[in-house]
Amino acid sequence: MTNPEMESLEAEEAFAEKMALVYELPLREKIRHLRGLRIKHRNLEDVANRMLELLCPCNDVSIISLAGVSGVGKSTLVFELVADLLVSADYGFPGGILPLSIPALKGQKTEASVVYDLALDAINEKMKDQKVAYEVIDGRIVMLPKREAKKVSAKQKEMMTALKNRQILALALDEFFHLLRFGDQHATLDSIKSCADDCGPKIIIIGGFEMLEAVDGYAQIQLRGSDLYLARYGAKSGCPDDEKEEEGWHKEEKEAYSEILVGIQNQWPYRERPNLAAHVDHFYTECLGNMRATKKLCAALAQKQDANHGQWDDEYFSDCRLQSAKLARMKAEFEEQEERIRGFDDGWMARDIVVDPPKKFPTSSQRGKEPATSRSQSR
């Protein structure tokens, strides 16, 4: 038996052992298993590979905007799939991506300083002395007056220094629009631009189309960034205008979505597994090609099966449907947001910049011996 065959056999045995444990879990843990599944699929991999190119340290893209409707898998793409791809890419930044989720603080103004606090907490970095601010001028530490210590700039400098020391390649800000909605939009965008100008980690901002429109109107961000869009399957924004091509496009979308259902049914938490792919039309209608909605429907089906002592019945599909009014509202919201895409140029999906990553990156010690360069120098 060859090595590849041995590895394949070992992988199958490990998967069988894992699923044997899943079968014995209580319902609550089975549902958690379904919701936590990471299923690779066409749209996810296409955008992940494009983001990997943009994260290459040898290009002039310092801010990456990732947009999409809620539940399409944006966070999974950045925090899991792209993070895994970076390991094999060997970009010379072992710190990889630092993920941060921006909170929505009801009734409170959300300032850019929240990002600095979250980042410092995430890497267990404490301010040397929050009552003391300083600058490094000509290689010397210059202490600043106490009134300067409370300024956001002190936290920003501390964060950027800490991220550089830990060789973080990118700082990912999930739900970035919370900063724009509940804070000072121009001040926030200025802060992000300032961080990008500091030749430190790249900035990934994640959110919906409201975020993208706000950023699109800010030239300083556009000059430094590139945009990516993660679409749900069947989104009108990707549908061809030609009626003859539209039918073939819908067929391809449904086939790609069906592969997701196959991936889920292969990891179904009961020994008696349903043929989810055979009901692709039901899923496509009820879930609108959205990953979170798909997992939610699967969780409802699993609850039905658990109530029947683990026995499957295709009749569960007729019981697990969204109310027509709720489905209509969700579809209208998705389509309204996706329609905004048509207002962007064809190049907005980051196809305007093509950079071939180098075959090998210098080590940290080698980089220290080379003349200092920065992304801002080529602007």
* pLDDT tens-digit map of 145-164: 555 545 667 788 888 888 88
Instruction: Give the confidence band of 245 by pLDDT, cuts at 50, 70, 90.
Output: confident
Strand pairing partners for 98? 171
13/377: higher pLDDT:
13
Helix (H) or strand (E) holding 143: strand 140-143
The secondary structure of residue 151, as a DSSP letter, is S
Among 280, 253, 245, residue whose Cα is nearest residue 265: 280
Helix (H) or strand (E) holding 300: helix 291-307
154/70: higher pLDDT:
70
Instruction: Give the confidence band of 279 by pLDDT, cuts at 50, 70, 90.
Output: very high
Can you tell me the distance from the alpha carbon of 160 to that of 14, in angstroms, rounded to the nearest whole number?
42
Answer whether 110's CB lies under 8 Å from 183's CB: yes
How large a percentage of the chain has pLDDT more than 90? 32
Q: 42-231+340-354 belongs to which homologous superfamily? A: P-loop containing nucleotide triphosphate hydrolases (3.40.50.300)
Domains of the chain: which residue ranges?
27-39+236-339, 42-231+340-354
10 Å Cβ neighbour count for 239? Answer: 14
* pLDDT tens-digit map of 287-309: 999 999 999 999 999 999 999 99
pTM score > 0.75 for this model? yes
